[in-house]
Each structure stands twice: as structure tokens, then as C-alpha cells.
Homo-oligomer: A and B are copies of this chain.
């Protein structure tokens, strides 16, 4: 499909990918302009369409590539044997932060893609997400030891509350860090704050 693109020098490949991901992440599919992309990438308009047929194919190419990268890294780094749900969620959150730091643009792209409403692209995205969330939940609960919880605690509620709290924390951090360089956030401080919440949750939900 994209042989022409892959056969060019890789520094140029990355310039193009970088420009495209930035533009799509910033404006979403429809409002993103191929004109802006080619200008930023320093190539001629025609070339972009020479490599990737059309805007839609370009977008889906990026989407697939980034999903693959993220999933591979995630699956490679997670500890599958963890049986403590809260510890597992802690690990997942930490890993998520790590990946955000490593691939910020990529994360932005996928976040925007997740909320994409453009009719051209919607069906293709949904098709790609079939079952992915189900699978994610499945692998989260694998090997989990329910006996750690107090009697009568709804494990689903426990997970939800934890996830929501982690997400809320992540969002406020993102706001706080808006001006600070993405590279050097005080990881130790973040970790400490996160653990305050997890400790609270542990106390609420686990046996003494």
C-alpha cells in the first residue's frame, strides 16, 4: 500500500509523519489541512498524494501505525503476573504516563482520534476499535485476586473509582504542566500524589 513512502529516506519519512500527526492532533481530521502538512514537512503538495493516495488513507496510516506502536510497548512492559488490582492499576497508570512522556504527539493524535466525529473516518475507526476495549478489560482482570477485597465490595465499582481518580489526577497534572516543559516534570512528586489517592482507595476497599 505505501511502498513508495517506505522507499524514501527515513529522515524525510519522519518529517512528514511528524508534520501530519501534529496537524491532525491539533485540528482533528476535517479541519486539518494537507496544505499545512506539506508546508511544515517541506515537501510539495503533489508528493503527499503520491505517497498516500488521499487524506483519508494518510490518516488511517498514522492511526494504525501509532496504535501498533503503543500496544506493543504497553504489552511488552506490563507485569502480567500482578495479582493485586490496585497495584496493577498503579502500574498501568505509571506506564501510561511514561508513554505519554515518550510519545507526546502520538498520544495527542490518538486522543483526538478517539473523539473524532468526521463521517468520512468514523466507521473505519470504530471498526478498528472493535473488541479492543473488551480485550483491555480482560487482560486487566487476568490473575487478579479478589480475596484482597472486603466482603461485599463491588469490584467493578472499585476499578471504576480508581480509574476515574487516576484520570482526574492525570488531567489536572496536564493542566498544571501546560507551560512547563513536557520533558522534566517532577516524576517523584507525581508518584507521591498518586500514592496518596491509592492509599485512600486501598483503605476503603481492601481488607485490613
Contact = CB atoms under 8 A, between A and B. Distances in A.
A47 interface: no
Interface in A184-208: 196-197, 200-201, 203-205
A197 B157 contact: yes
Contacts of A157: 196-197, 200
A160 interface: yes
A139 interface: no
A64 interface: no
Contacts of A201: 204
A163 B205 CA distance: 18
Contacts of A172: 160
Contacts of A169: 160, 164
A208 to B, nearest CB: 12
Interface in A141-182: 153-154, 157-158, 160-161, 163-165, 167-169, 172
B204 A203 contact: yes
**Residue picked from A154, A160, A169, most chain B C-beta under 10 Å:** A160
B203 A161 contact: no
A75 to B, nearest CB: 25
Contact of A167 (B154, B164, B196): B164
Contact of A164 (B153, B165, B200, B203): B165
Contact of A204 (B160, B167, B200): B200
Contacts of A204: 200-201, 203-205
Given A167-B168, A168-B167, A161 B205 contact: no
8 contacts: A153-B200, A157-B197, A160-B168, A160-B169, A160-B172, A164-B168, A168-B168, A200-B204
Interface of A: 153-154, 157-158, 160-161, 163-165, 167-169, 172, 196-197, 200-201, 203-205
The 7 A-B pairs with the shortest beta carbon distances in the complex, nearest first, are A164-B168, A204-B204, A164-B164, A200-B204, A161-B165, A164-B165, A203-B204
